[in-house]
Amino acid sequence: MKGRSEHNTAFYIETILMIVSFVAVILVLTNVFGLGKLESAKARDLTSAVRIAESAAEAFAAAEGPAELADLLGGEPLVTLASASSQSTVPERDRLPAMIFSAYDADLNQVPEDGCAYWLAVSWEPVKGTEQSNGAVLAEGTIKVYKTADPEKDPIYTLQTKTYIPEVQP
């Protein structure tokens, strides 16, 4: 009878070890799939941010000033243009430092700020010392895309760009 009791004990220990192993495997797989879902969401946000920044960079290259950039990005009421020095008059071709803001939904359509999924901030800054006698100037910009309209958080994606603005045609 003693041998049968040891056999039953061994069976129970093996069963408990097998159950513990299955539980451990289930917990590991759950963690892996949970992290995969989180990484997938981060990748989706990064892809969207890159697409928004690319479009803004193309508009930046085509614009001859921050006002034209704001128009190319969608214009009022979807885009906000904030001049860095609003007291002075705007010189020819809007060569003042400025910030341009725009909001996008999850499908990358421009929307008003309320309920936006992504927030775009573009700085327009003429590069000092690049002014030429013919009026040409180099402008640089920093394009930042945020997950929400909260610019206090780190941006999802940042892009630096420059564009040469040729002379003014009379």
Interval 108-132: pLDDT, tens: 888 887 778 898 999 888 887 766 6
Q: What confidence tier does 86 reach under pLDDT thresholds 50, 70, 90?
A: very low
Of 38-52, 66-80, 113-127, which range is least confident? 66-80
Q: What is the domain extent for residue 80?
A: 2-165
pTM of the model: 0.71
CB 118 within 8 A of CB 49: yes
The reply to whether 52 falls in a domain is yes
For residue 26, name the pLDDT band (cuts at 50, 70, 90).
very high
pLDDT at 134: 66
Please compute the mean of the pLDDT values over residues 64-68 and round it to a whole number: 81
Q: Is residue 69 part of a domain?
A: yes
Residue 72: alpha-carbon gap to chain centroid: 19
In terms of DSSP bridges, do strands 137-146 and 157-165 run parallel, antiparallel, or are they unpaired?
antiparallel
In whole angstroms, what separates CA 32 from the centre of its chain?
Answer: 26
pLDDT of residue 4: 64
Residues 6+ apart with CB under 8 A from 79: 70, 71, 73, 100, 101, 102, 110
Residue 96 banded pLDDT, cuts 50, 70, 90? low
Does a structural domain hold residue 170?
Answer: no
Q: Which residue has the higher pLDDT, 49 or 138?
A: 49
CA distances from 132 to 96, 110, 155 (A): 16, 36, 34
More confident residue, 28 or 151: 28
3-state secondary structure the chain: CHHHHHHHHHHHHHHHHHHHHHHHHHHHHHHHHHHHHHHHHHHHHHHHHHHHHHHHHHHHHHCCCHHHHHHHCCCCCCEEEEECCCCCCCCCCCCCCEEEEEEECCCCCEECCCCCCEEEEEEEEECCCCCCCCCCEEEEEEEEEECCCCCCCCCCEEEEEEEEECCCCC
Q: What is the pLDDT of residue 85?
A: 47
pLDDT of residue 52: 94
Domain count, the chain: 1
- In this prediction, residues 127-143 reach a mean pLDDT of 78
Contacts of residue 110, Cβ cutoff 8 Å, sequence gap at least 6? 73, 74, 78, 79, 102, 103, 104
Flag whether 132 is in a domain.
yes
Please report the pLDDT score of residue 23 as a whole number. Answer: 95
Q: Is residue 98 one of the residues assigned to a domain?
A: yes
pLDDT band at 88 (very low <50, low <70, confident <90, very high): very low
